[in-house]
Amino acid sequence: MTPEIEQKLKALHLKIEALVRSNSTLQKENNALNEALKESKHSSQNLIKSIEKIQNQLDIAKYRQAGMTPDEKKNFEKKISRFVKEIDKCIALLSV
């Protein structure tokens, strides 16, 4: 091989090594970002569950006070019916 070709091959080899290192770094960063995203999603889901729980407690407190308007009472009864249906579905799935 001529020195010119060897020099070009060497330069190409160095560029490939740099790309491999860069790719490895990017993969590690991507993995870290994916992990952070999973944690954020999990935290978000937990917050949503907490909000729903608090909202349900608030609805129950309103119902206990008997100061609900007819529309609020109707919405509350719909929620209770929906929860009962979900519980029934869970029981059916557990029975299989």
User: Are 62 and 76 in contact, with CB atoms under 8 Å apart?
Assistant: yes
User: Are 75 and 56 in contact, with CB atoms under 8 Å apart?
Assistant: no
Confidence at residue 85, expressed as pLDDT on a 0 to 100 scale: 85
Confidence at residue 13, expressed as pLDDT on a 0 to 100 scale: 95
User: Are 62 and 72 in contact, with CB atoms under 8 Å apart?
Assistant: yes
Quick: pLDDT tens for 59-89.
Answer: 777 777 666 677 877 887 888 888 888 888 8
Q: What's the CA gap between 55 and 63, in Å, rounded? A: 12
Quick: pLDDT tens for 16-59.
Answer: 999 999 999 999 999 999 999 898 888 888 888 888 888 888 87
Per DSSP, the residues of 64-79 read HHT---HHHHHHHHHH
CA distance to 46, 58, 77, per residue, from 72 (Å): 27, 12, 9
- The reply to whether the predicted model has a pTM over 0.85 is no
